[in-house]
Amino acid sequence: MSNHTLDPFPEELWVTAVQVATVWTKPESAREIDADGTGIPTNIDKWVNSLSYKDSLALCDENRIQTQLLYGETVLVIEIVDDWANVVIPSQGSKKDVRGYPGWVPINQLVKVEKSEWYTTETAAVIQDKVWLETENDEQFMKLSYMTFLPVKETGTSRIKVLTPHGDMFLPIDATKIFSTTKGLGKGSGQDIVNAGEAYIGLNYFWGGMSSFGYDCSGLAYAVHKANGYQIARDAGDQAAAGEKVKFVELKPGDLLFFAYEEGKGSLHHVGIYYGEGKMLHSPQTGKGIEITNIKGTKYEKELCAARRYWKAAEES
């Protein structure tokens, strides 16, 4: 990301207070079987692994989930209706709302904090698959996803003290990367973007997924760009509408590939990351895991409709 400031927010912030908060299309979209994803605390591991293929597919086919939030991520609350908050997410750009990605979150998965207290000069990014947030006494408090960002209060020899919605907590120093809050994470190369995605080969697809508990196709693209200092839109259609246009004969690792129905002439439905040598890294669909696949001779060759580049060469960064 270019920066991690809180400029769009009022003096009081609403902050995500669970490991992953799922953003639902409407309050009634959540089912009884989704309790591990809507309660507090959440147990995302248990939730995603307990859903049958049919139940997971319904999250997409029945338009139940929009996106997800990571622990400590800030939102704008538009209104509160009963036990639910109607939010927009400024860090996730979308044509659905110029302020950020919209949807509904259980209000008990958010807490209100003072902007002046939440802002620190440095931020810690979780750079491992998952890591335990710990108390001062080394007790495991919450399992956090890759690319969770938290304000840094103090850096020790083995742990970092971070500010969280639950007060001061600690992260292992080797599981994080500290960066200037105003400058953001350093810009990575296209190969760095590929390398970030490779770590998740085999991880099951999850519709609306924005965490290392499960990504959808555009969620994976978003996360690996975020890890390398680039803030892109949340959905594939919006991702395809920005960035630098790339000719197919000039593809380089890290470029985004977009696919549309009707052999590339219909509606856009998928995004992958160009891997090199005619292959792509992507999160394909419910029931499958993140994979590297050849494009030639597959449906993807016929459906390829656009390519975009968000990363910059070293000399441009």
Q: Which of 301, 272, 304 is nearest to 285 (CA)?
A: 272
Those residues whose C-beta lies under 8 Å from the C-beta of residue 14, and which sit 6 or more positions away, are 74, 75, 76, 77, 85, 87, 110, 111, 112
Active site residue 166: no
- Check 4, 60, 225, 270 and give the catalytic one: 270
Active site residue 60: no
Q: How many CA atoms lie within 13 A of 25 on its CB side?
A: 13
Which residue reads 């591991």 in tokens? Answer: 45
- Check 4, 217, 225, 305 and give the catalytic one: 217
- Check 4, 60, 166, 282 and give the catalytic one: 282
Q: Which of 72, 29, 71, 22 is nearest to 214 (CA)?
A: 22
Say how far apart CA 100 and CA 98 lie, in whole Å. 6
The sheet with strand 149-155 has its strands ordered as 140-145, 130-134, 167-172, 159-164, 149-155, 122-126, 176-180
Annotated catalytic residues are 217, 270, 282
